[in-house]
Chains A and B, each alone.
Chain A
Amino acid sequence: MSETYGCHKVSEGVIEGEVLISTDDFCFYLVDPKTGVVIEKNHCLEGQSIADKILVFPSGKGSSVVQADGMYQLKMTGKGPRALIIKYPDTVLVASSIIMELPVVDRVPKDFYEQVKNGDKLRVDADQGILIIQS
């Protein structure tokens, strides 16, 4: 059984992966590019790896350069996330994602957030605006 939800394309791409949820906003620079592990002090994902995950979080944060710098390094080492699902798109995160060709969607319905949990297998189709939780 699988459940399908609508969403809105921020940055194109189609990918599958495992869900990791962050309740805190996210800064890609505060991730160790060698391991994909979050190194930000007091962050809810501190010590966890975002490598190959589909990262679900509210919004980007941090300065206007470091999102792209952090994402680029993670892309080069292959320790970055596979896709992002966000609530509040901001220019810095959006521009960085488009340039780094990382699939990103927003405008996801409320019931998705009620259903989704860490470890779920998820298909993100940003181009068609579809999310599928696979089980």
Chain B
Amino acid sequence: MQLTVEEQEMLDGKYGKGTQIAMKIQVALGEVFDAPKMVPVSRTHVALSNQEADLWFVEKLVNAGARCKISPTVNPGFNLEYFQCITTISKEDEQTIRRTRQAYKDIGATLTFDCTPYLEKNVPRFGEITAFSESSATPFINSVYGARTNRESAQSALCAAITGRTPLYGFLLDENRKGQVLIDVQADVKNDFDYQLLGYAVPKKLQFKTPVFVNLPTDPSPAALMNLGAQLNTAGNVPMYHIVGVTPEARTVEEAFQGDEPERIITITQEDLDQVHSEITDPVGKIDFALFGCPHFNLNQVAQVADLVKGKELKVKLWIMTSSLTKELATRMGYLETLQAAGGDIVDDTCMDQPCWEFLYGKKGVTDSPKCAYYTKRRNMQFVIRKVEDCIEAAMRGEVS
């Protein structure tokens, strides 16, 4: 790979050991993908996870003197102060989150602690070259904004934040952004939840190709697009999708395929969506809680839940996970008060896949997110998956039928 003088100096250690480690990993990555050179990045997002590997790697870099050239926004761990009020957090877990926060602060990250920075704090323009990790973020950056990123891992995105570079390959190149498989949606996709199922149903049939959706509504909400990207990258590995008439590099079918023919056509029927829904949900029955916000809910989604519970009483506890900014707005606008009056709450800076939820292990909840249900298998949490309206109804009855 051809490196500039400055990049070679980073690799040689002239900018310190931390930068050297980061550059070394990026050069290795570039070589795997036959990248001819590095290119500058103008934005980065690191999918902090507050788990052992995450903490190990960021502390290793901090201790080696690394500082971010392009300050990344970061994913949530959990809101220690909030959970200490409602449950017991072990000394060990408290230590870990404190160390994670400190390490990311020291390395120069922008401490947003949210997984949807592309909605409010880290918004690229069309064509901008970036390095985003986080499975709902990468497809949003590529597909919805038409900016460019590979599907970075938390660690490779952190390396890019430190060096300010990324190897030139994959979805940074025009020819690799071409649609490959036409997805003819014959199912009735009418709400944000249907995009969750659609996102989950497609990858198994896709085999690592870039999908181009046709026959979808042309007015999807931001939440619908978030859901689609998040689930495409839970059930599979899809850094970019096109929706004809919606996403900027797919004004027409021809444009999406860059003038070529689709390699294959896959039809998705209502039966496909119903089947995937029945496969991923746990059995119905009594529930102990409701959990939303994987990915973090935006303000409209919070408003929707607030509206559904207004003046009512929930039988089980309900949480919405969101960004601190959205929580602040929800507080100002009275949504938080409405939710709390019904027995629900909003928690910011928090992911579902964190030890702060230990008090729910072994219990069954309801959620609108297949991604939430998928990753919490490790934590022995069960989830019935339903659309938001049905989740709220279940939370009021304490049961899903």
Given contacts A58-B207, A58-B208, are A73 and B52 in contact (CB under 8 A)? yes
Q: Could you tell me which residues of chain B, from 352 to 390, have a CB within 8 Å of some CB in chain A?
A: 353, 371, 374-375, 377-378
Nearest CB in chain B: distance from A69 CB, A: 4
- The contact size tier of chain B is 35 or more
The one of A10, A63, A96 in contact with B234, judged by C-beta atoms closer than 8 angstroms, is A63
Least CB separation from A88: chain B residue: B208
The one of B28, B47, B154 in contact with A98, judged by C-beta atoms closer than 8 angstroms, is B28
Question: How many cross-chain pairs have Cβ atoms below 8 Å apart between A and B?
Answer: 122
Question: How long is the Cα–Cα vector from A103 to B329 in the complex, in angstroms?
Answer: 48
Given contacts A92-B151, A98-B25, are A62 and B133 in contact (CB under 8 A)? no
Which residues of chain B are near A68, meaning CB under 8 Å? 53-54, 57, 153-155
Judge whether A65 is part of the interface by a CB distance below 8 angstroms: yes
Least CB separation from B373: chain A residue: A41
The tally of residues in A whose CB lies under 8 Å from a CB in B reads 37
The one of B150, B233, B236, B377 in contact with A91, judged by C-beta atoms closer than 8 angstroms, is B150
Question: How long is the Cα–Cα vector from A64 to B295 in the complex, in angstroms?
Answer: 13
Judge whether A45 is part of the interface by a CB distance below 8 angstroms: no
Judge whether B348 is part of the interface by a CB distance below 8 angstroms: no
Question: How long is the Cα–Cα vector from A26 to B124 in the complex, in angstroms?
Answer: 31
Which residues of chain B are near A94, meaning CB under 8 Å? 29, 32-33
Judge whether A90 is part of the interface by a CB distance below 8 angstroms: yes
Judge whether B170 is part of the interface by a CB distance below 8 angstroms: yes
Which residues of chain B are near A39, meaning CB under 8 Å? 377-378
Which residues of chain A are near B378, meaning CB under 8 Å? 29-30, 39
Known contacts A39-B378, A63-B234, A88-B237, then 8 further A-B pairs from the complex at CB < 8 Å, ordered by chain A residue: A25-B237, A64-B138, A65-B54, A91-B152, A95-B159, A98-B29, A99-B155, A100-B53
Q: Using CB atoms and an 8 Å cutoff, list the residues of chain A in contact with chain B.
A: 9-11, 25, 29-30, 39-42, 58-69, 71-73, 76, 88-92, 94-96, 98-100
7 A-B pairs with CB atoms under 8 Å apart are A30-B378, A41-B280, A59-B208, A90-B237, A91-B156, A95-B152, A98-B28
Closest 4 CB pairs of A and B: A72-B53, A64-B133, A95-B156, A65-B49
Q: Using CB atoms and an 8 Å cutoff, list the residues of chain B in contact with chain A.
A: 25, 28-29, 32-33, 47-49, 51-54, 56-57, 75, 133-135, 138, 150-157, 159, 170, 203, 207-208, 233-237, 239, 279-280, 353, 371, 374-375, 377-378
